[in-house]
């Protein structure tokens, strides 16, 4: 081991740093304004306890030098990155094509931008991705996490929760030990809305095509259907899909086979409703005359069907804003919370 006794050259004063090319630092601003780093820092952080003279001197020095604070230096000491990760725990590439997802992503980006915080997009599809994302969050890259996970029992949820990083999920996260803050549309209430509407138009043999029941949406929408149908929710009226158009078609064909007297279908997503209408057309049933069709999502697909789709609109824009609000409040030390937002019935031609 080398001797601890070292020669100690006099440490040069901080202001004597050699003139560097490159971005101006807080020191450059301080020198130009004729004040100390501390004063510049005070101006940068709200300008409390700074004399008017110093304030204007610093401000003009900042604009003269084009100074922008170095984000990493600041984060190093504040332990805050002022950015948030949008984590997509989804193996299926399909999600990216989902217009609801697009709205959510856009809404979150914009809501964060209002707080001058950027959004970092991360995909945790494969196991390797998951490790990457874990490391990423662990490295202190972000102050909080927005979690978009559509299937239950997702390992990434537990993993991130173990870091105790502020986190808000989109939709309930069933099957997780940890209670996780979340924002969700009222899937169950929305389904009730739709089925109640179908009944109000005189339909009685109302079938349903569900989404995957291991996801929060799928189970809740089926529950809403059952709430309204009560005893009339016979097993032959319930068929399962996976949110894809093709599955909507095959499920509807199955429904028609099992319950030929069907006069309405509540389909748990617009994309599947697309498939359902195709199946109905193929079976020679007219929409809405013979069979009424109700969708869910109010996606772009809802207006391109013939007739256009009566559906349930989820408040995606509000959802994203609520997610951000919840996340920021958690970052500020508030406890996690859950928010459920109401849906809206959009009546078009199919029912």
Partner DNA sequence: GCTGATTCTGGGAGCGGTCCCAACAGCATA
Partner DNA sequence: TATGCTGTTGGGACCGCTCCCAGAATCAGC
Q: Give the footprint of DNA on this chain (CB under 7 A).
A: 1-4, 6-9, 11-14, 17, 20, 22-23, 25-27, 34-42, 44-45, 49-51, 53-54, 67, 69-70, 73-74, 76-78
Separation of alpha carbons 104 and 320, rounded Å = 6
27 counts as binding a copy of itself under rule CB under 8 A: no
161 counts as binding a copy of itself under rule CB under 8 A: no
Q: Which does 45 bind (CB under 5 to 8 A by kind): DNA, a copy of itself, none?
A: DNA
Q: Of the two residues 301 and 326, which places its CB atom closer to a copy of itself in the complex?
A: 301
Using CA of residue 268, residue 271, residue 274, residue 280, what is the dihedral sign? Answer: negative
Nearest to 247 by CA among 276, 215, 206: 276
Q: Which does 42 bind (CB under 5 to 8 A by kind): a copy of itself, DNA, none?
A: DNA
231 counts as binding a copy of itself under rule CB under 8 A: no
Q: Which string of b and e fits 264-296 if b means at least 16 CB within 10 Å? A: bbbbbbbbbbbbbbbbbeeeebebbeebbbbbb
300 counts as binding a copy of itself under rule CB under 8 A: yes
Cα–chain-centroid distance for residue 89?
Answer: 11
Alpha helices by DSSP H, 119-244: 127-138, 155-161, 187-200, 216-229
Of these, 37, 106, 258, 318, which contacts a copy of itself (CB under 8 A)? Answer: 106
- For residue 59, the minimal CB distance to a copy of itself (Å) is 16
Cα–chain-centroid distance for residue 271?
Answer: 20
37 counts as binding a copy of itself under rule CB under 8 A: no
Q: Of the two residues 45 and 304, which places its CB atom closer to DNA in the complex?
A: 45
- For residue 101, the minimal CB distance to a copy of itself (Å) is 8
Separation of alpha carbons 19 and 252, rounded Å = 74
Q: Of the two residues 122 and 272, which places its CB atom closer to a copy of itself in the complex?
A: 122
Cα–chain-centroid distance for residue 6?
Answer: 56
136 counts as binding a copy of itself under rule CB under 8 A: yes
| Helices (H) then strands (E): counts for the chain | 12, 12
What region, left, alpha or beta, does residue 24 occupy, with left being phi > 0 and alpha being psi -120 to 50 degrees? Answer: beta
Q: Of the two residues 38 and 260, which places its CB atom closer to DNA in the complex?
A: 38
Q: Which does 38 bind (CB under 5 to 8 A by kind): a copy of itself, DNA, none?
A: DNA
Q: Which string of b and e fits 23-54 if b means at least 16 CB within 10 Å? A: ebbbebbbbbbebbeebbebbeeeeeebeeeb
Nearest to 294 by CA among 275, 263, 270: 270
Q: Which stretch binds a copy of itself (CB under 8 A): 38-46, 65-73, 213-221, 288-296?
A: 65-73
**Cβ contact 345:295 at 8 Å:** no
Footprint of a copy of itself on residues 260-279 (CB under 8 A)?
A: 274
- Sites of contact with a copy of itself (CB under 8 A): 23, 66, 68-73, 75-76, 81, 83, 85-86, 93, 96-97, 99, 102-103, 105-106, 109-110, 113, 116, 118-123, 129, 132, 135-136, 138-141, 245, 274, 300-301, 304
């Amino acid at each position: 081991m080398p001797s601890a006794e070292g020669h100690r050259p006099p440490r040069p004063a901080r202001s004597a740093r050699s003139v560097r090319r490159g971005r101006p630092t807080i020191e450059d601003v301080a020198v130009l304004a004729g004040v100390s780093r501390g004063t510049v820092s005070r101006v940068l952080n709200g300008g409390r306890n700074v004399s008017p003279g110093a304030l204007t001197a610093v401000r003009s020095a900042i604009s003269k030098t084009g100074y922008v604070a170095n984000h990493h230096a600041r984060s190093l000491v504040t332990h805050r990155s002022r950015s948030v990760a949008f984590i997509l725990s989804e193996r299926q590439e399909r999600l990216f094509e989902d217009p609801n997802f697009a709205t959510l992503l856009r809404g979150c980006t914009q809501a964060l931008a209002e707080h001058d915080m950027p959004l970092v997009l991360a995909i945790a599809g494969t196991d390797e991705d998951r490790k990457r994302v874990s490391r990423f969050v662990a490295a202190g890259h972000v102050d909080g996490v927005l979690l978009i996970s559509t299937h239950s029992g997702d390992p990434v949820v537990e993993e991130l929760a173990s870091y105790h990083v502020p986190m808000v999920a989109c939709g309930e996260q069933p099957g997780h030990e940890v209670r996780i803050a979340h924002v969700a549309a009222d899937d169950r209430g929305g389904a009730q809305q739709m089925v109640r509407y179908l009944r109000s138009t005189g339909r009685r043999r109302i079938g349903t095509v569900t989404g995957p029941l291991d996801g929060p949406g799928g189970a809740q929408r089926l529950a809403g259907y059952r709430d309204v149908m009560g005893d009339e929710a016979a097993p032959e009226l319930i068929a399962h899909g996976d949110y894809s158009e093709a599955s909507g078609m095959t499920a509807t064909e199955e429904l028609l086979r099992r319950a030929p007297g069907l006069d309405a279908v509540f389909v748990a997503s617009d994309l599947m409703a697309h498939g359902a209408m195709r199946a109905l057309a193929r079976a020679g049933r007219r929409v809405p005359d013979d069979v009424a069709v109700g969708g869910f999502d109010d996606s772009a697909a809802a207006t391109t069907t013939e007739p256009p789709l009566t559906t349930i609109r989820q408040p995606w824009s509000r959802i994203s804003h609520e997610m951000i609000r919840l996340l920021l409040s958690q970052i500020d030390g508030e406890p996690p919370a859950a928010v459920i937002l109401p849906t809206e019935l959009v009546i078009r031609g199919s029912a």
